[in-house]
Structure 1
Amino acid sequence: MVQNQIGEPWKTGLFDCQLNPANAIMTAFLPCATFGKIAVVLDGGKMTRRSGSLSYLLLMPLLCSQVVMGSKYRAKLRKKFNLVEAPYGDCFSHVFCSCCSLCQEFRELQSRGLDPNLGWNELLAQQAMQQGYPDQVQQPPHNQTMSK
């Protein structure tokens, strides 16, 4: 049932959830939280974790409408990194293995240096540091004390 064999392979398999047990457990109980983190990265910070999670959560009871959002963002991730649509199509993966799909997408972003746990602002700061632009990263002020 492989849809499209054009592109690069995923860094991990669809059913390799044990590679990140903390994320697998979180996704099993709160898939909306994992989706929110993924959406923030793929939307370039335009969506917040809260709004992504909330929209996913609200759509879940509506005839499994989260499949539409999940497969849309899976396709967006594949396009961004030129990934093959395998082992199943995006929609099929989210219909039958939505938690495994979210976990795989989360691991893919992590393996490419875009850790969804960090959030968009932290990712930008990390990238600026890696590219040698530390002056563009706002550092918190050093320890301050009050004196009379």
Structure 2
Amino acid sequence: MTEKVANGSWSTGLCDCFSDCSSCCLTFWCPCVSFGRVAEILDKGSTSCCLHGSLFCILAIFTHVGGCIHSWVYRAKLRKVYGIEGHRCSDCLISCFCPRLSICQEYRELKARGFHMSAGWDGNLQMQTRGVTSAPAVEGGMSR
């Protein structure tokens, strides 16, 4: 699930949207979907993409501050998990004043680290283990 990405810095800049046009377009038109995918992977599948995306959408529509705070929490979490340099204050400012750029950068970061964003956590886990759920069975067992 992970590729070689240097810890300490983002794999792409905040405004490098055109390095991955598909994630840029998705985030511009449907930020709730991009955010939901990022949050599901960061939460290791404990909550669904749909739940996170819906919550983000509701918070962003009714209170811009609510959407900012929700996005800010996950930006800080991503930085912490991957050892990316930065500060919670800058995370807050970026999440509040450039929310789509922030989400798009987080999305690209997880893609750069080898995640297939549309597969979700379970799909990525399955790809990593290649569908192996148990040890192979031995026909007839061991005997002399």
TM category, shorter = 0.7 to 0.9
Paired AA for residue 16 in structure 2: D
Q: Identify the residue that residue 50 of structure 2 maps to in structure 1.
A: 50
TM-score (norm 1): 0.79
Q: Identify the residue that residue 40 of structure 2 maps to in structure 1.
A: 40
> How far has the Cα of 1:64 moved from its partner?
2.9
Q: Does 2:132 align with 1:135?
A: yes
Identity among equivalent positions (%) equals 32
Paired AA for residue 71 in structure 2: G
* Cα offsets for 1:17-56 (capped at 9, x unmatched): 0111111111111111110000110000011111011000
* Cα offsets for 1:72-127 (capped at 9, x unmatched): 000000000000117x7101111111111101100100111122221111101111
Q: Distance in 1 between matches of 2:9 and 2:90?
A: 14
Which 4+ residue blocks in structure 1 deviate beyond 6 angstroms? none
Paired AA for residue 28 in structure 1: F
Q: Identify the residue that residue 105 of structure 2 maps to in structure 1.
A: 104
Q: Distance in 2 between matches of 1:69 and 1:30?
A: 16
Q: Identify the residue that residue 90 of structure 1 maps to in structure 2.
A: 91
Indicate conservation of the 8 Å contact 1:40/1:116, yes or no: no
Q: Identify the residue that residue 114 of structure 1 maps to in structure 2.
A: 115
Aligned length: 126
Q: Distance in 2 between matches of 1:22 and 1:99?
A: 14
Structure 2 residue runs of 5 or longer lacking an equivalent are 1-6, 135-144
Paired AA for residue 135 in structure 1: V
Q: Identify the residue that residue 3 of structure 2 maps to in structure 1.
A: none
